[in-house]
């Protein structure tokens, strides 16, 4: 297989569907990358997961003979460090990733205002509602101590007002 068939660059910075996409073939390649847990082909995982859009990655996860959680388990077993973290984020739904980023931004001693501003100010109302639903649903992503749901709602509304003012000027 030539390298042009392995990767789809299209317009750099724009996520486009991978041409000639075959989720079953990608799923088989992912399963082959975890050969009995003894040997792994991280390059194949990177090649597949970074060259597919999110919808295609979700189709690949469905095609793997194990559920998505087990695909995450395979990635955790085969990879480590920042590469593991990146590929685990790539197989998440966008709402799950944003909820996880919000949780991380509010965890610990301080807050990561830049991440909060990025998510709360640049996403549509519908997207924010979906992220909030995922955030509330997940037991592991419960609100940090001291953060009340009303405060989060107030911040979201405040950022939406600021966004509207900026659009008018």
| pTM score, whole prediction | 0.68
Per-residue pLDDT of the chain (169 residues; tens, 9 = 90+): 444 455 545 555 567 788 889 998 988 888 777 654 544 678 888 888 888 998 999 888 888 766 555 677 778 877 888 988 998 999 899 999 998 888 888 777 777 888 888 888 888 888 888 888 888 787 554 555 555 555 666 676 667 667 777 777 6
DSSP assignments along 123-135, one per residue: S-HHHHHHHHHHH
Q: Give me the domains of the chain, ranges plus CATH numbers.
A: 3-90 (1.10.220.10), 94-168 (1.10.220)
């Amino acid at each position: 297989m030539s390298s042009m068939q392995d990767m789809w660059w299209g317009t750099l910075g724009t996520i486009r569907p991978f041409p000639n996409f075959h989720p079953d073939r990608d799923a088989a390649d992912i399963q082959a990358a975890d050969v009995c847990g003894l040997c792994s082909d991280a390059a194949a995982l990177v090649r597949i997961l970074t060259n597919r859009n999110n919808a295609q990655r979700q189709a690949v996860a469905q095609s793997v003979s194990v559920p998505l959680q087990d695909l995450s388990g395979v990635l955790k077993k085969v990879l480590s460090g920042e590469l593991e973290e990146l590929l685990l984020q790539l197989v998440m739904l966008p709402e799950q990733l944003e909820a996880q980023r919000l949780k991380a931004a509010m965890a610990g001693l301080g807050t990561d205002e830049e991440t909060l501003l990025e998510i709360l100010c640049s996403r549509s109302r519908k997207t924010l509602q979906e992220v909030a639903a995922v955030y509330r649903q997940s037991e592991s992503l419960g609100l940090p101590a001291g953060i009340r749901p009303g405060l989060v709602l107030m911040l979201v509304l405040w950022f939406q007002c600021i966004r509207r003012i900026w659009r008018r000027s």
